[in-house]
């Protein structure tokens, strides 16, 4: 009964490849997020979607394209992978508004290694 | 712009000693502050939030608007408190925008036996 699940947990790939990370939540939340945690453990928001609508798009290269087929899923597709993309990517979800909007439930993370 | 600073990347204390993890923020409006924690091999999770004014696992944090700080404190640290702690800030959420949490760089707390 994992609340926020992301796959794969580990991903090792070559530079230039295209890869996807999937995320699903069963909490009934309206809003989902992608965060990037770099090698120094710095956590930074990349995107947020509210009921399939893009809300936040931080200064992320357009090689990163989120896709939300429905409000329970938010996938991250990365084109032309670069060495600097190596990181742990966290999916999260929350309520859309009110006091619960800032209480994020995180997935376990997907560690991407680009060789 | 929102900004959160955690000046200590690493913090090491002995079991039973008091611990304080520092957090300072920069925000022009009325912020909401949080502490999130990531234990080894576990997910990042909410520890506490300033509006709740509660103690979780013996930890407390008081929002000091004058000093723009939200330090996390525990009088007697336990080994199981060893984890990565992130301070986070959000401006008041808009009706349709979900959250815009800005995280600090994190403090790795190690409690030694």
Looking at CA atoms only, how far is residue A17 from chain B in angstroms? 28
**Partner A contacted by B86 (CB < 8 A):** yes
What's the token pair of residue A39? 């090698």
Between the alpha carbon of residue A83 and those of residues A17, A51, A59, A80, A112, the distances in Å are: 11, 32, 18, 10, 10
Domains of chain A plus CATH, in order, are: 4-98+107-114 (2.60.40.10)
Asked if residue B1 has pLDDT above 80, the reply is: no
Question: What is the pLDDT at residue A50?
Answer: 84
In three-state secondary structure terms, A61 is coil
Domains of chain B plus CATH, in order, are: 3-93+105-112 (2.60.40.10)
pLDDT tens for residues A29-87?
989 999 999 988 889 889 888 877 888 777 788 899 999 999 899 999 999 999 999 99
What's the token pair of residue A114? 């680009």
Question: What is the pLDDT at residue A1?
Answer: 66
Query: 10 Å Cβ neighbour count for B42?
Result: 11
Beta strands in A9-109 (DSSP E): 10-13, 19-25, 31-37, 43-50, 53-57, 64-70, 73-78, 87-94, 105-106
Would you place residue B87 in the very low, low, confident or very high pLDDT band (cuts 50, 70, 90)?
very high
Question: What is the pLDDT at residue B50?
Answer: 86
Question: What is the pLDDT at residue A18?
Answer: 96
Please, is B83 exposed, middle or buried when counting C-beta atoms within 10 Å of its C-beta (0-12, 13-18, 19+)?
buried
Separation of alpha carbons A53 and A49, rounded Å: 5
Question: What is the pLDDT at residue B55?
Answer: 85
Question: What is the pLDDT at residue A51?
Answer: 79
Separation of alpha carbons B99 and A55, rounded Å: 10
**Partner B contacted by A3 (CB < 8 A):** no
Question: What is the pLDDT at residue B39?
Answer: 94
Looking at CA atoms only, how far is residue A24 from chain B in angstroms? 15
Q: Of A40, A41, A104, which has the smallest distance from its Cβ to B101's Cβ? A: A104
């Amino acid at each position: 009964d994992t609340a926020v699940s992301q796959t794969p947990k580990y991903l090792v790939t070559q530079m230039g490849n295209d890869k996807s990370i999937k995320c699903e939540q069963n909490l009934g939340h309206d809003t989902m997020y992608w965060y990037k945690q770099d090698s120094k453990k710095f956590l930074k928001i990349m995107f947020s979607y509210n009921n399939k609508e893009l809300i936040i798009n931080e200064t992320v290269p357009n090689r990163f394209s989120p896709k939300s087929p429905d409000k329970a899923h938010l996938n991250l597709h990365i084109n032309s992978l670069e060495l600097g993309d190596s990181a742990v990517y966290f999916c999260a979800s929350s309520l859309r508004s009110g006091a619960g909007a800032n209480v994020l439930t995180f997935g376990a993370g997907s560690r991407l290694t680009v060789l | 712009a929102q900004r959160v600073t955690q000046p200590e990347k690493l913090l090491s204390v002995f079991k039973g000693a008091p611990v304080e993890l520092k957090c300072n923020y920069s925000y022009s409006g009325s912020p909401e502050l949080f502490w999130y924690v990531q234990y080894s091999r576990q997910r990042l999770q909410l520890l506490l939030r300033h509006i709740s004014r509660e103690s979780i696992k013996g930890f407390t944090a008081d929002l000091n608007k004058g000093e723009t700080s939200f330090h996390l404190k525990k009088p007697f640290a336990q080994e199981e408190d060893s984890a990565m702690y992130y301070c986070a800030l959000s401006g008041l959420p808009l009706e349709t925008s979900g959250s815009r949490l800005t995280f600090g760089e994190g403090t790795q707390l190690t409690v030694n036996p």
